[in-house]
């Protein structure tokens, strides 16, 4: 009997030890590891810490005529008091800006500093400085200011060409005068246009809330790199507002690549020098055997002695390609040509009388906004 139990017990004990060994080596460590690792919290503190020193608060003031007093009060005053000069009052406003260079160049919106008499800039570290206007570009609603202070920290630049719908973005600015604040959202759409606020519209749309005072502030990615300049809130009721006290509407920002292009020209030349061909165009769909194959531009007007005319472009020509790239839409083409420099070469492919012609143009300096 004892021998029989021996043969039964030893295999059972060995099996138990094997099971414990397997649990200890392969199962228990994995379970302990899962329990020990807490889920990582999502934070953008590093991005905010990196970008915030470059975001400034802008305070403006201008003198405006004071409204006349009621007629009875005027009659009483004129009888018992000597005539006085027209009174004025100070009208104050606020906005935001972004330090772009260590020399003190600040990028903001033109509507933030338009027609003001004094501009004060409050830095993230508490320093206050008087700012002067280097240049403005109403066509893109951008302006460049300059302050003279040491130890400035410019923002790190991103690339708006790499921005994608769905990317997380942070809006940093001076909403309602409270000082630097941050809101978070995603890129909702790219290339928004048709608001007719500016000649050149190519907005980044986000759902990051911006309020009155955010105009000119920074739109940054999750690494703190600048991807846009917060500009306006679009609402259906008023067909687009530069500011909104409530933050209700569609938030729009100017892409950083366009903003930097404008800024550099304002610093170098005091104005933006845009390329120009001298044609007015209308969009048309290209169709091949009944199938749409893209868009093209019909030449509706040509300026006399313009680069386009000298290149051989004629009324009724259908522009299909620029520098070998197919036309996407008139707005993009306008931007593409405007970003060129006078004197640059550009190849223009047109269709005329069922023939394809490759023409060569020398870009000129823009004279009229509606044409390309």
Q: Residue 5: its pLDDT value, please?
A: 46
DSSP 156: P
3-state DSSP assignment of residue 147: coil
Q: How far out from the chain centre does Cα 258 lie?
A: 8
Does 105 participate in catalysis according to the annotation? no
3-state DSSP assignment of residue 22: helix
pTM for this model (two decimals): 0.77
Condensed to tens digits (0 to 9), the pLDDT of residues 130-183 reads: 999 999 999 999 999 999 999 999 999 999 999 999 999 999 998 876 778 899
Banded pLDDT at 248 (limits 50, 70, 90): low
Banded pLDDT at 12 (limits 50, 70, 90): low
Does 353 participate in catalysis according to the annotation? no
Least confident of 27-31, 55-59, 126-130: 27-31
DSSP string, 290-318: TEEEEEEEEEEEE-TT-HHHHHT--TT-E
Return the closest-CA partner of residue 169 out of 245, 220, 119, 204.
Answer: 220
What are the structural domains of the chain? 46-65+89-269 (2.40.10.120), 275-365 (2.30.42.10)
Residue with tokens 């366009």: 258
Does 215 participate in catalysis according to the annotation? yes
Catalytic residue among 160, 215, 306, 371: 215
**What whole-number percentage of the chain has pLDDT above 90?**
49
**Average of pLDDT values for 92-114?**
94
Least confident of 16-20, 58-62, 235-239: 16-20
Q: Residue 328: its pLDDT value, please?
A: 75
Catalytic residue among 93, 96, 105, 111: 111
Catalytic residue among 141, 202, 221, 317: 141
């Amino acid at each position: 009997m004892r021998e029989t139990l021996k043969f039964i017990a030893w295999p059972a004990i060995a099996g138990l030890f094997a099971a414990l060994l397997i649990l200890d080596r392969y199962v228990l460590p994995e379970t302990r590891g899962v329990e020990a690792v807490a889920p990582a919290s999502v934070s953008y503190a590093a991005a905010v810490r990196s970008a915030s020193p470059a975001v400034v608060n802008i305070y403006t003031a201008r003198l405006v005529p004071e409204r006349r007093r009621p007629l009875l009060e005027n009659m009483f005053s004129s009888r018992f008091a000597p005539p006085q000069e027209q009174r004025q009052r100070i009208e104050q406003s606020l906005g935001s800006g972004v330090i772009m260079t260590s020399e003190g160049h600040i990028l903001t919106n033109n509507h933030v500093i338009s027609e003001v008499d004094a501009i004060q800039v409050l830095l993230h570290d508490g320093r206050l400085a008087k700012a002067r206007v280097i240049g403005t570009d109403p066509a893109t609603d951008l302006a460049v200011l300059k302050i003279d202070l040491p130890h400035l920290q410019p923002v790190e630049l991103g690339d708006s060409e790499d921005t994608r719908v769905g990317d997380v973005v942070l809006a940093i600015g001076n909403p309602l005068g409270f000082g630097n604040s941050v809101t978070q959202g995603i890129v909702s759409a790219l290339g928004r246009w048709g608001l007719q606020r500016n000649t050149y519209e190519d907005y980044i749309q986000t759902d990051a809330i911006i309020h009155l005072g955010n105009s000119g502030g920074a739109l940054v990615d999750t690494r703190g790199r600048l991807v846009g300049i917060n500009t306006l809130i679009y609402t259906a009721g008023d067909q687009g507002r530069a500011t909104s006290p409530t933050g209700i509407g569609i938030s729009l920002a100017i892409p950083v690549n366009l903003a930097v292009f404008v800024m550099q020209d304002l610093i170098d030349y005091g104005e933006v020098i845009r390329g120009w061909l001298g044609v007015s165009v209308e969009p048309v769909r290209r169709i091949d055997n009944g199938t749409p194959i893209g868009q093209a531009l019909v030449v509706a007007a040509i300026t006399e002695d313009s680069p386009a005319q000298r290149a051989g472009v004629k009324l009724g020509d259908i522009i299909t390609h620029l520098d070998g790239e197919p036309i996407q839409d008139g707005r993009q083409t306008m931007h593409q040509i405007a970003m060129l420099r006078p004197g640059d070469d550009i190849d223009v492919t047109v269709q005329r009388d069922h023939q394809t012609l490759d023409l060569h143009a020398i870009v000129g300096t823009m004279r009229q906004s509606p044409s390309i």
